[in-house]
Chain A
Amino acid sequence: MNKFIALTKILLKTNNYLNLKDSKDMKKTYFLSFIILITVTPIFYGLLQLTMSFYEKLSSVDQYGLVLSLSFSSLSLLMFFSSIIAVMSVLYFSMDISSLLPLPYSPKALIASKFIVMLFFQYIIECFTLLPILIGFGIKNGITFYYLFYSLISLITLPMIPLSAASIIVMIIIGFTNMHKNKDQFKIVGGLFAIGISIGIYLFIQDDLGSIQSLSAIENIIALGNHSLVNLSSTLFPTTNLLTFALLNESLIENLYLLSKVMFYNLVTFIAFIVIGQLSYFKGVLGISESASKNKRISQRKMSSLSKELPIQISYMLKEVRVIIRTPAYLLNCVLGNFLWIVIIVMPYFTTDQISEQIKQVSQVFKILNTNHLLVFSAILIVFLSSTFNSIVQTSISREGTGFTVNKYLPIRYRHQIQGKILSGMFFAGINIIIIIPLLIIFFKVPIFLILVFIVTSFFSVLFISFSGLLIDLYNPKLDWSREQSAVKQNINVMIAFIPVILVSGLIVLLSFIFNLTFYMLIILIITIFIFFDTLLYQLLMHQGLKLYEKVY
């Protein structure tokens, strides 16, 4: 037991969750904490208000318990999906595995320690997701000692079942299949599998809700009052409704019964996790870092084609792009997410027999709204948002990790390295633009002039995201990580990079409302604003940014 505690302590200490601490510069730590605070506060406050408003609306039909059960079940689902990729990273592909395996730990001790590390991360997330919901609900429903007690129990126990379930699935897949022989491929397949499961379950839930025959059936359930809808909301994770009723009930005995059931379910899944881990973890994790090689001589012709002379910025960009595409954590988080919307939008056209009819209908809908403009505007927004969310430039320094030193001794001007990093972000945005153009032309018959408007506006907006994101990452790069996932996921810079995006978007929306602008005036305004900020940020990047680049490491 002592060994297990020691290991857990070390793992928790070495896991720099959000990259907030800077032992050399306390001012930086305070500043970043302040930034976190102003970023998280609106989310916290928004959820609190939302909970209270839903409570009010649902209390009129005596169904306010639904607020809790829906929150619990959707958060559990979210925890489950995010855990699948996290479990793969933490249990199997983190860099500390090779140092831990030679130590005399049983599989169960290793996985239990790592489980606690993941659990802590979920608790951090809960602080600004579940906590405001519980506070909002408490304010409306009354905060009693029992409410506080069961809120605490909810906060502690809610992530345990989703995390255990995700771990069990991953351990079974890796432990009992041979897929992991190529770990990179497995990571990609596993990630896609996780996305597949999430879509499957989503469809299943949709279908489940659809199976309720008529609106009157739902009306009947609502009419029963007394939180009868809670039972309908979700039964995927057994403890969600138990916790809801524990928080709603005032009967001590009934609550003790509910509590014991919650504990029972948690214990059973955790034991299952430990038992399966004990049986399968070593089978999967041993040899996981091996990767296959072809060991084949390169032909003269291929050598010649590979040895093209390119400007150094392009060479640097290609290096960045190759690393992103070949690193599963980056591919899943930065690239696949970037293109997921295409699947969502385009898929319906290919899954139905009446493709042309569908397109016609969609086109008509947009014609009624009288606008190709709306389409172009949406396309710009898609490129803008995917570049914001893909975090390619925003984590381009952090992703280098301790290998950043290489940039320091190579004879490439820092200015060129920075330009190469910007270009890597532009590369992926460019692919987005290239995919969208034929969709706009073929499906929606958008005129060429508007396509040009789309390209130009997207270009300047992506530059804005790239410049501001890179400056943020340069200010506080997260270089000390033990798994690649941390560089792109558990990186505060990703969150901070939203701030300039939100501010500039707010400015555009505000100006367009004040001046009641037409489409073309709006586009001119957007381009002007972005050119203005792009010029400003580029100057900043090439002066302050270069100084920061010099100071990294």
Chain B
Amino acid sequence: MITIQNVSKSYNGHVKAVDGLSLTINPGEVFGFLGPNGAGKTTTIKMITGITKPDQGVIHINGKNMQKNPVLAKKEFGFVPDNPNVFLRLKGIEYLNFMAETYGVDKDLRIKRIQELSERFSMTKAISDQINSYSHGMRQKIVIIGVLLHSPNVWILDEPMTGLDPKASHILKEMMKEHTAKNKSVFFSTHVLEVAEKICDRVAIINQGKVLYVGSVKDIKEKSQENKDLESIFLELTKNE
């Protein structure tokens, strides 16, 4: 569960990237975070994951305060950044072991999880090679495997589908559903509205640092008088901003 209470962040003292944002991502739901470029999505994700500090407001991950107990809070989630070019000089297996060490996964469990996940993402042969030699999609997969090793309660994914092949994308979507079926949460940002429409229990549409809408896709469609699709509603909500 993620709770974001009245969070604001400004750059250079005046430009407000996020303005009084409040959101709750409940257990058991896939939550989509939508918005045009420069809307404040990345800044929000940076604050949730502890990369930057909010100027005001509080963020809790499973009840752990990100500002007060950052290490405990960080152990509660697995984060897949939009740029998967991390630790390129390490071999896949070295990276996974490093991540397992980081999240305190014991030896037996880590071997089991590495085998399971690399099998599922068709990466069993690739993990002995340097990440440098992977394609963009493979890099994305190894990062996903790395953050799932400790079976975190909360998944935070920034544009996770970018670069994934249809099979991997399908597997990830399946895994998101499986994850929430266990009463855990998934928070992900995306530009692909079809994906959001298909798999999200709720979505938030953000623009210029403010939340314009929070609710289920069904609700938003019902509220729209002409029963438009999510894309049309998104464009309408963000057109004057």
Contact = CB atoms under 8 A, between A and B. Distances in A.
Interface of A: 24, 184, 291-298, 303-304, 306-310, 312, 315-316, 318-319, 322-323, 326-327, 403, 405-406, 408-413, 550, 553
B102 interface: yes
Given A297-B128, A304-B111, A408-B50, A315 B90 contact: no
B114 A303 contact: yes
B74 interface: yes
A308 B106 CA distance: 9
**Pairs A-B, 9 closest by C-beta atoms:** A411-B74, A293-B129, A293-B133, A326-B89, A315-B101, A409-B49, A408-B51, A411-B75, A291-B133
Given A327-B89, A411-B75, 6 more contacts: A291-B132, A294-B128, A318-B98, A326-B90, A403-B86, A412-B102
A312 B102 CA distance: 6
B68 to A, nearest CB: 14
30 contacts: A291-B133, A294-B129, A295-B125, A295-B126, A296-B125, A298-B93, A298-B124, A298-B127, A303-B115, A306-B94, A307-B110, A309-B106, A310-B101, A315-B98, A319-B90, A323-B87, A323-B90, A326-B89, A326-B90, A403-B85, A403-B87, A405-B46, A406-B86, A406-B87, A408-B50, A411-B70, A411-B72, A412-B102, A550-B53, A553-B51
Given A323-B87, A403-B85, A411-B75, A293 B111 contact: no
Given A410-B74, A411-B75, A322 B94 contact: yes
Contact of A315 (B49, B87, B102): B102
Contact of B128 (A24, A292, A298): A298
B101 A309 contact: yes
B52 to A, nearest CB: 7
Interface residues of B, number: 43
A424 to B, nearest CB: 14
B3 interface: no
B64 to A, nearest CB: 10
B148 interface: no
A312 B101 contact: yes
B148 to A, nearest CB: 14
B100 interface: yes
Interface string B195-237: 0000000000000000000000000000000000000000000
B35 interface: no
A319 B98 CA distance: 7
Q: Name which of B90, B98, B126 has the most chain A CB atoms within 10 A of its CB.
A: B98
Contacts of A24: 12
Interface string B85-128: 11101100110011011110011001100110000000011111
Contacts of A308: 97, 107
A318 B46 CA distance: 27
Contacts of B49: 408-409
B74 A409 contact: yes
Contacts of B86: 403, 406
Contacts of A319: 87, 90, 94, 98
